[in-house]
């Protein structure tokens, strides 16, 4: 942790001579002093808390909480590879049990409904840990699984895991041949038609699918089938003259192809798939900085003959241990991913906007770390943009193959707020980032997260791909962040920026909100877009801004906060409907403040809610999931969101944004 000096100004405050830039804001209007004082106290506690959480190296990272399938699949991997150890098994099982709901199911997010696949995987993992299937918590879980269709109704990924232990027939799974790696990039369903997270997972799974391994299981799971004698029900009938019908026939053709595949071609495809996998292993041994591709890559390479002592395998296995969080000595949770770059840039923005001096040592240290993380070599994105010089940032500690547009924009916004002792170095880094982001703009004028024009609808229709979003189309939240970055760099009048602004205006929902791809949901989308539109020069009086303001005011909770449940992705009744959370209240306030609503009753109530719900240590409790990997299908609770977004909103209420006080780029 980074230590701070307690000077006369208080804990964590730099004792540098005040400048005009750092002078206190003018007195609040009559009648607002008490709210201003409340906001100042709330902000000060939160700033101290954030500063205390910074790592000595300069970064911040909160836990990234997902669901128990990560923990269950980690245990299944260790069983499959023969590397299980009792301490890990006991600790993971303890965590899995702690997440079981009162109805004996497991959900994929806090407060959500029971999920069939998650429940099956958690149940099987607990059986591996020795839990008795007759025990009440197990018997009731298996009964619920049977009532909801049994294993046959679970997702493909779950049934692949079961097939690897002989609990499901490989013949009853969709086929994905490794020869897909040879499809040219212009051909439908080539691997670059998939989003990068799906691509990294599917390539090793083609190896697993081709080799169909079976590691004999130590027990049967008949209790998870509706009819153990006939676990696979008849295939669902779909109209022949439909896309689903066409892809069902394609799957049958791929199953037939397996029987007649040219052996030399199959061997070559497996060899080239292994080469593709190994070339994308990061320096720390992981793949893409995320857990699922690492798990499947290790299985694929093991099946291709790589022993556990091979350097690639040893590094990969060691990387998995770094995804483990131990809340205590007896409990182990597996993160699907780690978010240090994202957390650090958001924390830096929050601290500057909250009034921390732009040259505070903690900020300079964060800037140094972020500058060192810029990626200056090509990755998978260059398949579509071979002439574009690199310059992005990734989300994780190690992920040079897959920088993303969103992190790159927010890191640039953070760096521009900090007075770094080497401003030319910062300018060069931001210049590379802006050039790379502009080069990754999709043809319609917006941005996806990782790739350009990754919009094919075919991958989502494959029977193999039922595990969530597998493409990376442009989204309003990412596009808003890029537009905000361009405005901060004085490029709001660039034709590419104006094209993105027009795209955002066209994407506004009828109710005035914007859809949130990477955060839940319309509150995130609106909180991302509205500040960008204002920064790009759209007046607060513009009809699109007024519609958004009206919508935000109309969905404020009675307690003064804002909340939205993940079910808003599948059910309109949940749009902006949910328990108030600190992160979502922060997003709503950021949008309202950008629109000039500082004096509004909605902002006053929102600031008051943040002050009233803050803990004494400056933290906010937030069990609800407000982030997404895939909307609805894969949900995330970023444990630092509950800090960085409220602090940003409070700071902007008190001071405006940090860019304004630093001086925007010319």
Q: What is the mean pLDDT of the chain?
A: 91
The number of angstroms, rounded, from the C-alpha of 179 to the middle of its chain's C-alpha atoms is: 30
Confidence of residue 395 (pLDDT cuts 50, 70, 90): very high
Three-state SS annotation for 549-609: HHHHHHCCCCCCCCCCCHHHHCCHHHCCCCCCCHHHHHHHHHHHHHCCCCCCHHHHHHHHH
Compute the C-alpha angle 544/546/547, nearest 5°: 65
Q: 37-62+339-457+465-662 and 66-334 share one CATH topology?
A: yes
Please check the confidence at residue 554 and state whether its pLDDT lies above 70: yes
- Which ranges in 354-455 belong to alpha helices (H)? 361-372, 405-417, 423-439
Using one digit for the tens of pLDDT, what is the confidence trace for 574-621? 999 999 999 999 999 999 999 999 999 999 999 999 999 999 999 999
Q: Strand 634-638 and strand 64-65: pairing?
A: antiparallel
Using one digit for the tens of pLDDT, what is the confidence trace for 177-202? 999 999 999 998 899 999 999 999 99
What does the alpha-carbon distance between residue 52 and residue 12 come to, in Å, rounded to a whole number?
Answer: 9
Q: What is the pLDDT of residue 378?
A: 95
- Cβ pair 429, 408 in contact under 8 A: no
Q: So where are the chain's domains?
A: 37-62+339-457+465-662, 66-334
What does the alpha-carbon distance between residue 197 and residue 38 come to, in Å, rounded to a whole number?
Answer: 43
- Give the catalytic positions in this structure: 406
- Cβ pair 454, 423 in contact under 8 A: no
What does the alpha-carbon distance between residue 652 and residue 486 come to, in Å, rounded to a whole number?
Answer: 20
Mean of the pLDDT values across residues 137-166? 96
Contacts of 51 (CB under 8 A, 6+ apart): 2, 4, 12, 351, 362
Please check the confidence at residue 234 and state whether its pLDDT lies above 80: no
Please check the confidence at residue 1 and state whether its pLDDT lies above 70: no
Architecture of domain 37-62+339-457+465-662: Alpha/alpha barrel (1.50)
Mean of the pLDDT values across residues 364-368? 98
% the chain with pLDDT above 70? 92
Of 526, 501, 500, residue with least CA distance to 511: 526
Confidence of residue 9 (pLDDT cuts 50, 70, 90): very low
What does the alpha-carbon distance between residue 12 and residue 649 come to, in Å, rounded to a whole number?
Answer: 20
- Which ranges in 53-194 belong to alpha helices (H)? 69-81, 86-98, 116-128, 136-147, 156-163
Assign domain 66-334 to a CATH class.
Answer: mainly alpha
Using one digit for the tens of pLDDT, what is the confidence trace for 48-65? 999 999 999 999 999 999
Residue 591 Cα distances to 255, 346, 529, angstroms? 51, 16, 8
Mean of the pLDDT values across residues 382-389? 95
Count Cα neighbours of 458 within 13 Å in the Cβ-side half-sphere.
12
What are the tokens at 181?
């790696």
Compute the C-alpha angle 302/306/310, nearest 5°: 120
Residues composing the chain: 666
Mean of the pLDDT values across residues 652-661? 84
Q: What is the pLDDT of residue 20?
A: 32
What does the alpha-carbon distance between residue 598 and residue 603 come to, in Å, rounded to a whole number?
Answer: 6
What does the alpha-carbon distance between residue 388 and residue 436 come to, in Å, rounded to a whole number?
Answer: 7
Mean of the pLDDT values across residues 94-116? 96
φ, ψ (nearest 5 deg) of residue 635: -110, 150
Of 396, 359, 368, residue with least CA distance to 57: 368
């Amino acid at each position: 942790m980074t230590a701070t000096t307690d000077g006369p100004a208080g804990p964590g405050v730099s004792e540098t001579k005040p400048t005009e830039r750092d002078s206190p804001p003018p007195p609040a209007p009559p009648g607002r002093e008490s709210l201003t004082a409340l906001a100042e106290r709330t902000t000060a506690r939160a700033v101290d808390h954030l500063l205390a959480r910074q790592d000595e190296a300069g970064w911040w990272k909160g836990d990234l909480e997902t669901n128990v399938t990560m923990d269950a699949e980690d245990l299944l991997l260790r069983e499959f590879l023969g590397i299980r150890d009792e301490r890990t098994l006991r600790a993971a099982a303890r965590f899995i049990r702690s997440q079981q709901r009162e109805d004996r199911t497991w959900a994929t997010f806090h407060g959500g409904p029971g999920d069939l696949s998650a429940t099956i995987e958690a149940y099987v993992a607990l059986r591996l840990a020795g839990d008795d299937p007759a025990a009440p918590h197990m018997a009731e879980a298996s009964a619920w699984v049977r009532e909801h269709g049994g294993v046959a109704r679970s997702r493909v990924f779950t049934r692949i895991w079961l097939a690897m232990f002989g609990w499901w027939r490989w013949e009853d799974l969709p086929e994905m041949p490794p020869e897909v790696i040879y499809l040219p990039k212009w051909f439908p369903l080539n691997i670059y038609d998939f989003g990068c997270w799906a691509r990294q997972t599917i390539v090793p799974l083609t190896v697993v699918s081709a080799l169909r391994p079976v590691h004999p299981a130590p027990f049967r799971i008949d209790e998870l089938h509706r009819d153990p004698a006939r676990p696979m029900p008849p295939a669902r009938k779909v109209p022949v003259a439909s896309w689903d019908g066409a892809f069902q026939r394609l799957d049958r053709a791929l199953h037939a192809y397996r029987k007649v595949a040219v052996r030399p071609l199959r061997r070559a495809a497996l060899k080239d798939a292994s080469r593709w996998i190994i070339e994308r292993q990061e320096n720390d041994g992981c793949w893409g900085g995320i857990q699922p591709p690492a798990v499947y890559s290790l299985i694929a390479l093991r099946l291709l003959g790589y022993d556990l002592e091979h350097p690639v395998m040893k590094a990969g296995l060691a990387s998995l241990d770094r995804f483990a969080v131990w809340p205590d000595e007896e409990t182990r949770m597996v993160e699907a991913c780690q978010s240090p770059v994202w957390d650090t840039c958001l924390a830096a923005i929050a601290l500057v906007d909250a009034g921390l001096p732009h040259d505070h040592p903690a900020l300079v240290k964060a800037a140094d770390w972020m500058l060192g993380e810029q990626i200056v070599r090509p990755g998978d994105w260059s398949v579509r943009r071979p002439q574009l010089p690199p310059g992005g940032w990734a989300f994780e500690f190690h992920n040079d193959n897959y920088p993303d547009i969103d992190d790159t924009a927010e890191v640039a916004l953070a760096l521009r707020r900090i007075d770094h002792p080497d401003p030319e170095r910062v300018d060069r880094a931001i210049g590379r980032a802006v050039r790379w982001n502009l080069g990754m703009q999709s043809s319609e004028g917006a941005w996806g997260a990782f790739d350009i024009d990754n919009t094919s609808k075919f991958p989502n229709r494959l029977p193999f791909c039922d595990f969530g979003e597998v493409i990376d189309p442009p989204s309003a939240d990412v596009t808003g962040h890029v537009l905000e970055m361009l405005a901060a760099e004085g490029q709001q009048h660039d034709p590419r920026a104006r094209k993105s602004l027009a795209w955002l205006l066209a994407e506004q929902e009828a109710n005035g909100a914007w859809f949130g791809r990477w955060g839940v949901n319309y509150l995130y989308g609106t909180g991302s877009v509205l500040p960008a539109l204002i920064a790009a020069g759209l007046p607060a009086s513009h009809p699109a801004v007024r519609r958004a303001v009206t919508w935000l005011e109309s969905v404020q909770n009675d307690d003064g906060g804002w909340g939205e449940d993940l079910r808003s992705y599948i059910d309109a009744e949940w749009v902006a409907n949910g328990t108030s959370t600190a992160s979502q209240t922060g997003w709503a306030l950021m949008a309202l403040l950008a629109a000039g609503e500082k004096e509004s009753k909605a902002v006053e109530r929102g600031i008051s809610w943040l002050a009233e719900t803050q803990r004494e240590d400056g933290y906010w409790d937030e069990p609800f999931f407000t982030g997404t990997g895939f909307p609805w299908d894969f949900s995330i609770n970023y444990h630092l969101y509950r800090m960085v977004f409220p602090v940003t909103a409070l700071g902007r209420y008190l001071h405006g944004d940090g860019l304004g006080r630093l001086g925007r780029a010319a």
